[in-house]
Chain A
């Protein structure tokens, strides 16, 4: 397989896609938003339990490709316990990384595994879909579609 493919499907991504973490409904959630990619049918619901500006807990449900599922799983890992402001910051850094490939290892940590997505412009949406759902949840919306650029 090509280097770019191995960069896209890193072990950690394959691992999270096969055994996603935080993959359940969150009964305590006070925010919930669905992200939907009408192009491929990927669909995730992100559950957020917000308390005083902090993401107390986060989980997700849904289905999609390896990239989107791993992205949701690792996003939840990373954001649990972070402030809402930090989560927004993560979103823009992450978005920048998957579109340009430029990574700030200190800021992104394990999420750097997704930098390889930028070689595959058609897959950037997969990597960002759960993040859009998370952001919609923070904003108090209930759904978001990645159809519009």
Chain B
């Protein structure tokens, strides 16, 4: 818990990209669920690393290699602290959430999932927490099952969960925060119910990390994945947390340099986790940048960020609901900083195109949630997603723009 209330407008100044005009209007960047912007400290850290310390990690004996290796492993320690992992060895660097989930599906799933087993997901998952399990199910003959969501407010229907968690279920994977509905799932409760039955859990934290406190010990999950680019870090880097006992029992994901202990022509042995799961040269510069981003967020306080996100979302929902013919998705209260909506008779893509001409960056589409869209009975939604550098004034610009859009299309 951080004590001082952050100075949000001073923090906004840390983001050079936000100070620009788009189509003649000040940029209002409301596509943070897709990716976040980067503060100057992260940009400078990347620049400094490439200018002064760049060298491959875990390979050389020379000075630059030592510096790069020390910085890379320090970034791992920062990620461990950020997630409250017990030790840095539980932190695997990946390319992002998607690769983290695929790693678990291959390395853990390949060894532990058999024909007749069930992999339990929820109806609000991103494609990246569906497709890897479909592929695993095809390889192994396992089945998929889904925790349903309630129709209108987009909450998980938890009444039947204990029945769904039957003795065929080996893994329960679910998102912490929905990237379409803004729903915040009770992840600690879900993990506790699964653990009681010996079921392994994976939390997709792509939308929660950096937006609210994420403590893997408090959540009680076995695996948790997030993406660096959504938390003010560089692209191409992400984190998979895995509980040590599980990581130790898992075969490697990919083979190559850096992950081996010894290799001969017919047989090799592996390093211990986490390096066992990091074949080849990692994006170590990005990992170092991510470490800086995580420190930056920790200094602000993810609890404060959650409150700020929620305030902007509540303001947006309040104003949007005054527009005629507007449909809001997701829960009425307890919303994360993600608000999906549709204007009657105006397609999301048309909304986004016109908003863009006003400098307002929104997302329109299925948000990699096609099955969820089907369930909601729509093809797409428009989405505004907030971060701590967004302001109440920007929410007002959004609503004013939507009002103009309604006028423009004569709806």
Contact = CB atoms under 8 A, between A and B. Distances in A.
Given A43-B379, A64-B379, A66-B350, A9 B345 contact: no
A8 B350 CA distance: 10
A1 B354 contact: yes
Contact of A40 (B346, B354, B366, B404): B366
Nearest to B349: A65
A18 B141 CA distance: 47
A87 interface: no
B345 A18 contact: yes
A43 B409 CA distance: 22
Interface string A1-19: 1101100110000100010
Nearest to A8: B353
Contact of A67 (B348, B350, B380, B408): B350
A35 to B, nearest CB: 14
B410 interface: yes
Contacts of A43: 379
Nearest to A122: B353
Contacts of A2: 23, 357
A109 to B, nearest CB: 24
B388 to A, nearest CB: 28
Contacts of A8: 353
Nearest to B24: A2
A100 interface: no
Interface in A61-87: 63-67
A5 B380 CA distance: 22
B282 interface: no
Interface range on chain B (Cβ under 8 Å from partner):
20 to 34
B88 interface: no
A76 to B, nearest CB: 19
Contact of A39 (B346, B353, B365): B365
B347 interface: yes
A5 B407 CA distance: 13
B373 interface: yes
Among A1, A18, A120, A126, the most chain B Cβ lie within 10 Å of the Cβ of A1
B365 A123 contact: no
B357 A65 contact: no
A5 B25 CA distance: 15
22 contacts: A1-B357, A1-B404, A1-B408, A2-B23, A5-B353, A8-B353, A18-B345, A40-B349, A40-B364, A40-B366, A40-B379, A40-B380, A41-B370, A41-B373, A64-B349, A64-B379, A65-B348, A65-B349, A66-B347, A120-B353, A122-B353, A123-B349
Given A39-B365, A126-B349, 15 more contacts: A1-B354, A1-B404, A2-B23, A2-B357, A4-B357, A5-B354, A5-B408, A9-B409, A40-B366, A40-B380, A41-B366, A41-B380, A42-B379, A66-B350, A67-B349
| In the complex, the 6 A-B pairs of residues with the closest C-beta atoms, listed nearest first | A65-B347, A41-B379, A65-B349, A40-B365, A41-B366, A41-B380
